[in-house]
A and B are shown apart, each in its own frame.
Chain A
């Protein structure tokens, strides 16, 4: 069965340090992969997506993600964490087809940036 997994429920990072939020996938073929962020009491916001091409994808708010086929991973990264990055982060892939029919999300990772 196809899936994405976010192995960490919570990640704590000191402000100014680099951050990584992990996602691994089990998706057949060439995967389309997405990262979304949810701030408290808000809907989800799109950060970035991998379709094909460059393994390093740049997105909103200074985030980037590295697609690694050999490790079946799509980790979200940022070189220097800000307090405003504290939020809930979701990795996602298309529920079917190319993604127009909806997404399936991982369980989410709480990112907490400590002063």
Chain B
């Protein structure tokens, strides 16, 4: 999957706990993205980054924060997880104008 790994691949947590998902790339691409995939909604953009320490909100950013301290790592944090954040989370990378490459996904369940 184009040098992209996501960790953990599966996580079960309880409502109200903080959760951090990690995306790691070895392609040195400038742009990184976090999406969530839910049945009937396709993928929706949460946050994206266009460089180290440069991030911006996407379509469904409420309840999520991100950080990018190194080119290769993009972290997604749920400060206080809710059941509505149960989803499959995908990281993607790109070097515009080329297409995005997606990671294998993280399945998060919030009980």
Residues of A at under 8 Å CB distance from B?
Answer: 34, 36, 41-46, 49, 51, 90, 95, 98-108
Give the Cβ gap from A50 to chain B, nearest Cβ, in Å: 12
Residues of chain B lying within 8 A (CB to CB) of residue A108: 42
Q: Are A44 and B90 also in contact (CB < 8 A) when A90-B42, A102-B33, A107-B41 are?
A: yes
Q: How far is the CA of A106 from the CA of B42 in the complex (A)?
A: 6
SS class, residues of chain B in contact with chain A: strand
Q: A42-B104, A107-B40 are in contact. Are A98 and B96 (CB under 8 A)?
A: yes
**A-B pairs, 3 with minimum CB distance:** A43-B102, A105-B42, A100-B96
**CA–CA, A95 and B45, complex, Å:** 8
CA A45 to CA B105, docked complex, whole Å: 12
Given contacts A95-B58, A100-B31, are A46 and B100 in contact (CB under 8 A)? yes
Known: A101-B56, A102-B58, A104-B45. A43 touches B99 (CB 8 A): no
When A and B form their complex, what is the total count of cross-chain residue pairs whose Cβ atoms lie within 8 Å?
62
Does A99 contact B97, Cβ atoms closer than 8 Å? yes
Could you tell me the distance between the alpha carbons of A105 and B1 in the complex, rounded to whole angstroms?
20
Q: Name the CB-closest residue of A to B48.
A: A102
Are B99 and A34 closer than 8 Å at their CB atoms? Answer: yes
B99:A46 contact, CB within 8 angstroms: yes
On whether the beta carbons of A46 and B40 are closer than 8 Å, the reply is no
Among B4, B44, B59, B102, the residue within 8 A (CB) of A45 is B102
With A95-B58, A100-B96, A105-B43 as known contacts, state yes or no: A43 contacts B105, CB within 8 Å.
yes
Docked pose: A98 CA to B96 CA in angstroms? 9
